[in-house]
Structure 1
Amino acid sequence: MRLSIGVTDFSWPDKPTEELTAVAVAAEDAGLDTVWVADHLLQADPHSTADSPMLEAYTTLGFLAGRTARIGLGTMVSAVTFRPPALLVKAVTTLDVLSGGRARFGIGAGHHDGEARAMGLPFPPAGERLARVEETVRLALRMWAGDESPFEGEHYRLERLIGSPRPVRRPPILIGGAGERRTLRLVARYADACNVFDIPDGGRTVRDKLAVLARHCEEAGRPYADIEKTISTRLAPGEPAESFARRCEEFAGWGIDHAVVITAGPWPVAGVETLGRAAALVG
């Protein structure tokens, strides 16, 4: 079971740059897998408010790349409507090159229509957004493979897919969302990882979603085991490492490989250290 932190709240009251750096370094020192950051222009965490500080995701990840050496870096997840696809792929590629191969490519259809209206972002219907996710992932795979031939999709048309420099290694692709008809089918066809939510029903929903994913993998002729199953969950304030480790063991019983952990408010270093102890207990 791998453990990562998800940074969704940047409202440290004092010296936020130093606090963010300390959290990322603590995560690396604790042996955690990845620092994921939310990709929003407005604060979207339900425990915060829309006018709370929110940093742009790829600038933040580039900053953290210069202050860490090993830990993975990615977005959980980038809405496909935020950036033109070539710009998004270039941002992920640049992060991978400058971090020495540590980028993870998290992408999804997006969900925050209020943010889109407030910030002047496009927000087409869900079906179109999912179609754009598929085209963007196809573009990324071709650019990272060095295929410069024209791309003709329903929504994107590129004359030449120039991807220079190439990434150090192809960034793993995580497609966010658990829609059973389209999103999980996209995961089965293209992704290296999926992401489900920790819903308090004893794992019934998670197991059901993973069973659907397994069926889509069978239809696509792809081994289900090839896809990393991640779950987004919270570390409760004051929760001890032993308690969280027991939860991780339960997640593993549901078929989960990797827990991405957020917390209410900005991460404290002590909370990250708790996760490190939990990771050591889980193994």
Structure 2
Amino acid sequence: MELGLHLPDLTWANGPSGLGKDLAEVARAADQAGFGYLSVMDHFFQISRYGPPEHDMLEAYTTLGFLAAHTERVKLLTLVTGVIYRHPGVLAKAITTLDVLSDGRAVLGLGAGWNEEESRGLGIRFPPTAERFELLEDALRYVRQMWAEGDEPFKGTHVDAERLLNVPQPLTRPRPPILIGGGGEKKTLRFVAKYADACNLIGSADLGHKLDVLKQHCENEGRDYAEITKTVSLWLDTGENGEKTGELIDELGRLSELGIDAALGWAPGVPRPDVLERFATDVIPVVSGF
């Protein structure tokens, strides 16, 4: 089992003037600690789980490029990009660029989007739910075609393109992994089975049921369920002084038994160096054996 360090809260003690230095140090420490993934949110306002809208929020793909320059091994992604924020051609080019410059470590995290307050605040169109899922399917088809051989036209429900030229192509072949976030049983998990390489679910009481639904969609699509990397979003809390480490390891063991391949989450206390050191010495060596 792998762990992923998620960085949703960047309102740190040294403020914006110290954020570049602090973020670089956290990225290097996470890479050296053995985290398998390093992720950021793709939002423009802070979300309520982590603080008020006015808290610090960096643009996701600029940040991932910065993180790529300060790491060597860890996979890089958003958790996750709302499909309404970027045209799929721009998004495919951003992931391609990240993959090339990181030596093949980019993952595309994608979802239908949900933050209407943020979208309306910035004047980004927020379509109804059904249209957002149509846009999501367009984007999934589009990026897969843009990362394939050739440069043929594309026709989707809402997006048409005359020439999907992408030079250079990503280093990761046949393409960078596609992770879809969300647990919707009728559309989201069906899209995972049909188009994606990974899913991101919530580690809640109905997780086993969600995995069963995904398995059924895989059977319907003729897809090998074992091919899909199953990840969950989880609060990676070891406690102020490590007192919750055992509890976290037990929960990760339970998730592993359900078939979860990776837990991606915020570690309270970051950017304190001792928090990531604790993961390096007490958590990751244990869970990597699950």
Unpaired runs of 5+ residues, structure 1, are none
Paired position in structure 2 for 1:175: 180
1:255 corresponds to which of 259, 265, 287: 259
Separation in 2 of the partners of 1:104 and 1:34? 9
**Mapped contact 1:28–1:70 kept (Cα < 8 A):** yes
Q: Is the 8 A contact 2:269 2:275 kept in 1?
A: no
Matched, 1:100 2:111: no
Counterpart in 2 of 1:111? 114
User: Corresponding residue for 1:278?
Assistant: 283
1:190 deviation in Å? Answer: 0.8
For each residue in 1:143-172, what CA deviation from the matched residue of structure 2 results, as whole angstroms up to 9, or x when unmatched? 111231111111000000001110001211
> CA 1:29–1:266 in 2, change beyond 3 Å: closer, same or farther?
closer
The alpha-carbon distance between structure 1 residues 263 and 7, as it changes in their structure 2 partners (threshold 3 A), is same
SS in 2 for 1:10: coil
Shift in Å, 1:198: 2.0
TM-score (norm 2): 0.93
Q: Distance in 1 between matches of 2:274 and 2:130?
A: 42
1:217 corresponds to which residue?
218
**Residues 114-138 of structure 1: CA distance to partner in whole angstroms, max 9, x if unpaired?**
0011111111011111111111111
Shift of 1:263: 3.7
Give the Cα separation in 2 of the matches to 1:242 and 1:280.
13
Length-normalised TM-score, structure 1: 0.95
**Residue 41 in structure 1 maps to residue 58 in structure 2:** no
Letter in 1 for 2:263: A
Residue 233 of structure 1 aligns with which residue? 234
Indicate how the Cα distance of structure 1 residues 279 and 50 shifts in structure 2: closer, same or farther if over 3 A, else same: same
Could you tell me which residue of structure 1 aligns to residue 249 of structure 2?
A: 245
Counterpart of 2:82, as a letter, is A
How many residues were matched structurally?
279
Unaligned 5+ runs, structure 2: none
Equivalent AA in structure 1 for residue 232 of structure 2: I
Equivalent positions of 1:44-193 (< 5 A) are 44-169=47-172, 170-193=175-198
Report Cα offsets for 1:4-29 as digits up to 9, x if no partner: 11110111121221111111111110
Change in Cα spacing, 1:36 to 1:270, as seen in structure 2 (3 Å) is same
Amino acid in the other structure paired with 2:110: I
The CA distance in 2 between the partners of 1:261 and 1:87, in whole Å, is 27
Runs of 4 or more, structure 1, over 6 Å off, are none
| Letter of the 1:153 counterpart | G
Aligned letter for 1:218?
E
CA–CA separation in structure 2 for the residues paired with 1:145 and 1:40:
29
Aligned mates of 1:56, 1:244 — CA distance in 2:
30
- Distance of 2:126 and 2:133 partners within structure 1: 11
In the other structure, the counterpart of 1:198 is: 203
Q: 1:45 Cα deviation (Å)? A: 4.6
Deviation at 1:246, TM superposition (A): 1.5
| Counterpart residue type for residue 241 of structure 1 | T
Structure 2 residue aligned with 1:10? 10
CA RMSD of aligned residues (A): 1.3
SS in 1 for 2:279: helix
